[in-house]
Amino acid sequence: MTKPVFGDDDWIARKHALKSLKGSLKGLEAMHARYGARPGHTCGDCVHFIVNSGHERNYFKCALYGVTNGPGTDWRKKNAACGKWEQR
**Residue 42 to residue 69: CA distance in whole angstroms:** 23
Q: By the 8 A CB rule, do 70 and 83 touch?
A: no
State pLDDT tens for residues 5-23.
555 566 666 666 666 555 5
Q: Each residue of 32-87: pLDDT tens digit?
A: 999 999 999 999 999 999 999 877 899 999 999 998 888 889 999 999 999 999 99
Q: Say if pTM beats, i.e. exceeds, 0.85.
A: no
Q: How far apart are CA 68 and CA 54, in angstroms?
A: 13
